[in-house]
């Protein structure tokens, strides 16, 4: 089954290779451009932004701090107070300071309805006419709850303070009063001139002025921004490079910079420098962005343009959203439900009291209290009395107990050694304590690619040369082995010892020098590239524009073809033992349209040859009819692609001197073209890049992180859908999709054009429907893919904008249409939305289509588009989402998702600082969700169900007692029992279940991913479970009240006295309740430890210990008004029949629960019950599986084309051709050093 590709070239759709940053604009900009722009008349030439410096709103004056405080740069901050529009460079993520902590924290805590309720209750309890409970019964729990929460919030905020302080106090040299002085980052201001040194982080968005390198060249590492470790270069203006090298020159620098306002576009900057009556254009190549790191540059100078919150990295962070779990929201609704029940019960009992007083109370002389109050007023007071008495239905300790459980679960994540990455000494880190149970409910995962799924490390694995494939384990004689050993590179003193290759026959062929094709193959790899080389302490260090090029040049070096040096017009290599220098006549750089690069060289013997490497799809179109080995190379390419390797075809062409001279003239003319220079140059390149002779092809592995395919496969079994959102090319993203098992051979792939066509058909059908159907009842959604089989969607950022109507021009048309300047489209085939409803339906259709697919890959997408995709799924699917990434371009997506995960240890820390959870490897996500997430969800649900049950059982006894106390709001227990019930007597066992319980162990949780499904379905805690807990509490409270009530009727003790008094009754009901709730939680405990056993027995022991103490005569003497139950416990509990009453009550309360649990696990067992039942059998199977070795890699069955191994950004060709990166070199070059190596980008500190 072949797959159709949506090729954007030549189509009317968007370019698949372009990342649509032009659409990534703020709403303010869109509003301004929409309503104020005038359409350019036909034939008129639009005025470029660069030509209108007066319209650029952002002005920066060098070395002039007072300038930026002028009134014209002030903006209203609060009421009539103003502040500068230029942000300071300090960042602030903390919430409190010393003054604001107490009032602000209390204000936030009293936003919770339960806390406000208990504050109101405390006020009511201070009114003597209505209170029947002492005020301290509410004050003590409330203070404890507020205090614990405040301590936790303070701890979290202190961590944020420390992080902010560490960043803001970093040091940097700033030019002040004519001298460079060491200053803290937080003190840097817009307009300051700063000096940065090698390995320094860039503190703000800075205009590069000069550097220690020639032509103010600076290398930067952008790992913090995009997760890529390959270095990029920045260039200062020639005028600043020549005039601003010395300190006194920089001190006299007084240029005015006019540029665009702060925005989130990482690939664009436009500005003008006005200096000494000359205007100089500025672009992104002149800017050093905050978060990047200076590499391979001793020092550089720059001018601060944007600081702090205005920098591009901070603008890309998106809004910090307050995240709450679904259980939190559900819990709040349930508390509101309890409020309603409480009010209804209190109102009913108040009405009962009015009638009772009218009929009985007012006529009984012994109940006369001397107050002149009618029945209605007494009923009114009784209502508030019952609000106080029944207040424990709303559990005040619920929230603090939840916070304690979440804190404990977070610590378990931090302490998990199986999520610790020893290579980087990086443990897992739960950076929030409020979202743990949500980890057990994830339905969609949105993942970055580079640095998240992959290591961004390329390895040369295989190649095909002249029709023969190399790379399998093979002896020097060509015998293929099942298992081999790596090649010994001791014969090559220049080899990188870390490079591994298993085919000894290729090395033997090269060393024999008998195969010209093999020698030509590696000579091409050592010559045709844009890699930069630098001598560092006797070693040659390679810097490549992409990891692919670095891998190819390193491979050539190991096979004996060592790239030594280059100048503007020469390139030198060592061919085995011979050193050669080639004259570089032209360098035809790679771009995303050409998908290839070429170099034209003059050999030492005078021959002229073109070497070319590129994607097979473009190289095969340009091969000569006489080229050999095309079919065998094609077969090898298909095999490489099946193994998900990235391929490049290598070819050459000999050029005569006359042909080169004629082409060179046209090339020079194209270089001078004013309009469409790039297109003209591409046309000239086409003239020479034809009739090529194929040499072979390379196969590079884009190294995945360990365990990625297995993790994705396991998560898929748990019915978690994974979407990859990346800025990489479509081919690269698709290739990685196959590598990590996200895409499989049995999937039908749908591209942008397919998706747009299907959505347009659905939109047209909807337009022809009657209007009343649009907003009427929801009809079942018709599926987009009716054929059987799996589907996958691969869509680029350009198509995403096209499909979702997010293009700036289209949004502008919408606003113009609203203003009446353009009529709405009458043609149903018009690609524009008729109205906002149609636009929304288009988005819903896209989400529905994507969710029907097993896998979705969005490539060439901007950070804002990543966040928009996540928002769409959250909005229209009401699904719980998780985003995972490692760079600053993932921050917006991480903040938008319900759960944000940052990959730490590999790249920068920007994503980690914005995340909720952080760890070092993607594979740990499996354990985070299927083990910690599932356990946290199960524990929290079990805790909440039992917490509601025990409070209903406790409180409703007051309700039954009111029928026998004239509805007088009299309490059924002692005051102190009510105070201590949730604090001491029943809290610890249920708290430990919330912390420690597990239905199956971690290994079985990973073995059976289907155990994760109840969390996605929200099956363990919902309104159904809530009402089950309510009715269970009603049942238990009935038993606990009425059985002792019956036992106390007409009874006689052993001493001839009737212990049927109120206090003895309170002791028996309280004792029955404590036994029942503690034994009930024992029945619900799946995982027993010594701590659980101690908690249950300890809670019962604490109850009896405290009760006998407060009922003793000694404590009664201390305060006779508080301790009124003197001797009640000892008197009641010495009666055997009262102990029998307690045993009977507890037995009848627990018997139905035991019966239901037995029937449920026997007749209707869940997946978890089945796994528990066969636990020992499965654990034995796991032990046997661990002894077995992992199976070898299996190739795919179907041929597909792999991505060409190029960076998706331009290389260093322009830099090399310009000569700006080279110092004036002496005529003779010294002998190259013996030690030559390529330094991994992760070891940049050695550079």
Q: Which stretches within 884-933 are classed as H helix?
A: 891-896, 910-913, 924-927
Half-sphere exposure of 861 (CA within 13 A, CB side): 31
User: Buried b vs exposed e over 364-393: b needs ≥16 C-beta within 10 Å?
Assistant: eeeeeeeeeeebeebbbbbbbbbbbbbbbb
- How many other CB atoms are there within 10 angstroms of residue 480's CB atom? 11
Under 8 Å between Cβ of 354 and 302 = no
Tokens of 507: 């090395």
Look at residues 1080, 912, 1161 and name the one whose alpha carbon lies nearest to residue 223.
912
| Cα dihedral 193, 199, 205, 210 sign | positive
Distance (Å, rounded) from C-alpha 451 to C-alpha 431? 20
What is the Cα 876 distance to its own chain's centre?
A: 20
The C-alpha angle with vertex 246 and arms to 243 and 251, in degrees rounded to 5, equals: 85
Q: What is the 3-state secondary structure (H, E, C) of 617-686?
A: HHHHHHECCCCCCHHHHHHHHHHHHHCCCEEEEEEEEEECHHHHHHHHHHHHHHHCCCCCHHHHHHHHHH
Whole-angstrom CA distances from 263 to 151, 343, 450, 992 are 38, 52, 24, 49
Give me the sign of the Cα torsion angle 489, 493, 499, 504: negative
| Whole-number Å distance between alpha carbons of 942 and 854 | 32
Q: Do residues 555 and 525 lie in contact, with contact meaning Cβ atoms separated by under 8 Å?
A: yes
SS3 of 346, please? Answer: helix
Provide long-range contacts, Cβ within 8 A and 24+ apart, for 1016-1021. Answer: 1016/441, 1016/442, 1016/443, 1016/719, 1016/720, 1016/880, 1018/326, 1018/441, 1020/937, 1020/938, 1020/941, 1020/942, 1020/945, 1021/327, 1021/330, 1021/940, 1021/941, 1021/944, 1021/945
H/E segment holding residue 1100: helix 1090-1110
CA angle 304/307/309 to nearest 5° reads 165
Residue reference for tokens 């490692």? 886
Residue 343: how many CB atoms within 10 A of its CB? 14
Q: Rounded CA gap, 968 and 978, in Å?
A: 18
Q: Which residue has the tokens 């991913």?
A: 1009
Rg (CA), the chain: 37
Place of tokens 């030549």: 10
For the annotated catalytic residues, the residue numbers are 448
Query: Is the distance from CB of 470 to CB of 480 less than 8 angstroms?
Result: no
């Amino acid at each position: 089954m072949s797959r159709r590709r949506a090729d954007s070239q030549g189509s009317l759709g968007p370019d698949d290779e372009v990342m649509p940053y032009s659409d990534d604009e703020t709403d303010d900009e869109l509003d301004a451009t929409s309503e104020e722009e005038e359409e350019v008349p036909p034939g008129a030439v639009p005025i470029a932004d660069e030509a209108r410096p007066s319209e650029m709103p952002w002005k920066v004056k060098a070395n002039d701090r007072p300038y930026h405080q002028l009134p014209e740069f002030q903006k209203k901050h609060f009421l009539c107070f103003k502040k500068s529009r230029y942000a300071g460079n300090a960042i602030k993520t903390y919430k409190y300071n010393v003054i604001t902590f107490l009032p602000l924290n209390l204000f936030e805590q009293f936003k919770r309805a339960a806390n406000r309720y208990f504050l109101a209750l405390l006020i009511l309890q201070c009114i003597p006419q209505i209170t029947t409970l002492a005020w301290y019964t509410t004050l003590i729990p409330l203070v404890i709850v507020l205090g614990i929460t405040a301590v936790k919030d303070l701890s979290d905020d202190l961590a944020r303070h420390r992080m902010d302080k560490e960043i803001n106090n970093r040091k940097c040299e700033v030019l002040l009063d004519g001298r460079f002085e060491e200053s803290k980052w937080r003190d840097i201001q817009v307009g300051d001139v700063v000096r940065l040194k090698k390995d320094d982080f860039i503190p703000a968005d800075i205009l590069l002025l000069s550097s220690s390198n020639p032509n103010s060249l600076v290398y930067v590492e952008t790992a913090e921004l995009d997760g890529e470790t390959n270095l990029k270069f920045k260039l200062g203006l020639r005028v600043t490079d020549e005039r601003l090298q010395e300190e006194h020159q920089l001190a006299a620098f007084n240029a005015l910079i006019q540029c665009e306002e702060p925005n989130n576009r990482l690939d664009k900057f436009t500005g003008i420098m006005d200096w000494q009556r000359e205007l100089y254009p500025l672009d992104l190549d002149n800017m050093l962005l905050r978060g990047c790191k200076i590499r391979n540059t001793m020092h550089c100078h720059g001018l601060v343009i944007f600081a702090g919150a205005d920098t591009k990295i901070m603008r890309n962070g998106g809004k910090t959203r307050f995240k709450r779990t679904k259980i939190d929201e559900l819990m709040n609704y349930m508390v509101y439900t309890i409020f309603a029940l409480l009010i209804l019960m209190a109102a009913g009992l108040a009405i009962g009291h009015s009638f009772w007083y009218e009929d009985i109370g007012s006529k009984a002389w012994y109940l006369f209290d001397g107050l002149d109050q009618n029945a209605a007023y007494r009923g009114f007071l009784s209502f508030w009395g019952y609000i106080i008495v029944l207040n424990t239905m709303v559990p005040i300790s619920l929230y603090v107990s939840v916070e304690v459980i979440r804190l404990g679960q977070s610590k378990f994540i931090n302490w998990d050694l199986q999520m610790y990455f020893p290579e980087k000494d990086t443990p897992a880190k739960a950076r929030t304590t409020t979202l743990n149970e949500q980890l057990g409910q994830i339905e969609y995962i949105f993942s970055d690619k580079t640095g998240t799924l992959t290591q961004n490390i390329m390895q040369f694995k295989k190649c095909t040369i002249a029709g023969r494939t190399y790379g399998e384990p093979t002896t020097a004689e060509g015998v293929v082995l099942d298992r081999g050993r790596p090649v010994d590179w001791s014969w090559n003193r220049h080899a990188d010892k870390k490079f591994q290759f298993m085919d000894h026959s290729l090395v033997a062929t090269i060393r024999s020098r008998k195969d010209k094709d093999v020698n030509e193959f590696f000579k091409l790899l050592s010559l045709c590239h844009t890699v930069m080389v630098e001598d560092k302490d006797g070693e040659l260090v390679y810097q490549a524009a992409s990891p692919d090029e670095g891998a190819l040049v390193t491979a050539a070096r190991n096979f004996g073809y060592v790239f030594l040096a280059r100048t503007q017009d020469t390139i030198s290599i060592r061919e085995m033992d011979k050193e050669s220098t080639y004259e570089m006549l032209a360098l035809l750089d790679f771009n995303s349209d050409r998908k290839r690069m070429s170099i034209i060289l003059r050999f030492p013997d005078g021959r002229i040859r073109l070497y070319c490497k590129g994607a097979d799809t473009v190289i095969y179109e340009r091969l000569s009819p006489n080229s050999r080995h095309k079919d065998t190379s094609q077969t090898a390419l298909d095999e490489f692609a099946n193994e998900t390797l990235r391929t490049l075809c290598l070819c050459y062409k000999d050029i005569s001197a006359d042909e080169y001279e004629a082409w060179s003239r046209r090339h020079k003319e194209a270089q001078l073209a004013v309009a469409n220079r790039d297109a003209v140059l591409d046309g000239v390149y086409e003239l020479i890049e034809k009739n090529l002779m194929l040499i072979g092809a390379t196969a590079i592995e884009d190294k995945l992180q360990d365990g990625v395919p297995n993790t994705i496969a396991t998560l898929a079994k748990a019915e978690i859908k994974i979407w990859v959102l990346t800025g990489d090319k479509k081919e690269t993203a698709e290739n990685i999709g196959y590598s990590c098992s996200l895409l499989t051979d049995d999937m039908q792939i749908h591209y942008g054009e397919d998706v747009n066509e299907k959505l347009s058909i659905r939109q047209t059908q909807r337009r022809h429907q009657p209007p009343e159907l649009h907003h009427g009842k929801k009809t079942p959604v018709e599926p987009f893919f009716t054929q059987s089989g799996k589907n996958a969607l691969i869509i680029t950022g350009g198509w995403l904008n096209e499909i979702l109507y997010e293009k700036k021009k289209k949004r502008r048309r919408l606003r113009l249409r609203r203003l009446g300047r353009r009529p709405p489209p009458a043609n149903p085939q018009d690609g524009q939305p008729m109205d906002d409803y149609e636009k929304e339906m288009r988005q819903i259709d896209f989400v529905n289509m994507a969710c029907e697919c097993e896998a979705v890959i969005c490539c060439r997408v901007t950070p804002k588009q990543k966040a928009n995709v996540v928002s769409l799924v959250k909005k229209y699917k009401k699904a719980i989402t998780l985003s995972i990434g490692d760079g600053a371009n993932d921050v917006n997506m991480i903040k938008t998702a319900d759960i944000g995960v940052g990959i730490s240890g590999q790249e920068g820390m920007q994503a980690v600082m914005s995340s909720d959870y952080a760890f070092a490897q993607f594979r740990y996500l499996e354990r985070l969700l299927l083990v910690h997430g599932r356990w946290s969800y199960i524990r929290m649900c079990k805790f909440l169900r039992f917490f509601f049950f025990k409070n209903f059982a406790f409180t409703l006894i007051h309700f039954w007692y009111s029928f026998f106390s004239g509805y007088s709001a009299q309490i059924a227990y002692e005051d102190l029992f009510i105070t201590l019930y949730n604090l001491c007597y029943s809290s610890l066992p249920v708290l430990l279940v919330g912390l420690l319980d597990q239905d199956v162990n971690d290994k079985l949780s990973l073995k059976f991913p289907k155990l994760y499904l109840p969390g996605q379905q929200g099956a363990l805690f919902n309104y159904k479970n809530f009402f089950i807990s309510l009715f269970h509490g009603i049942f238990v409270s009935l038993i606990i009240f009425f059985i002792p009530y019956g036992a106390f009727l007409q009874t006689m003790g052993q001493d001839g006295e009737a212990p049927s008094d109120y206090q003895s009754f309170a002791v028996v009901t309280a004792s029955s309740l404590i036994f029942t709730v503690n034994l009930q939680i024992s029945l619900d405990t799946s995982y027993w430890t010594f701590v659980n056993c101690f908690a249950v027995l300890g809670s019962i022991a604490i109850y009896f210990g405290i009760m006998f103490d407060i009922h003793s005569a000694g404590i009664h003497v201390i305060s006779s008004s508080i301790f009124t139950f003197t001797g009640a416990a000892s008197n009641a509990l010495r009666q055997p029949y009262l102990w029998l009453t307690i045993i009977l009550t507890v037995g009848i309360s627990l018997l139905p629960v035991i019966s239901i649990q037995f029937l449920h696990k026997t007749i209707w067992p869940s997946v978890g019950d089945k796994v528990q039942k066969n636990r020992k059998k499965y654990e034995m199977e796991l032990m046997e599986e661990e002894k077995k070795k992992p199976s070898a890699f299996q190739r795919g069955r179907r041929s597909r084309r792999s991505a060409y191994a190029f960076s998706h950004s331009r290389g260093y060709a322009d830099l090399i051709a310009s000569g700006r990166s080279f110092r004036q070199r002496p005529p003779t070059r010294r002998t190259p050093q013996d030690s030559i190596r390529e330094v991994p980008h992760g070891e940049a500190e050695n550079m």
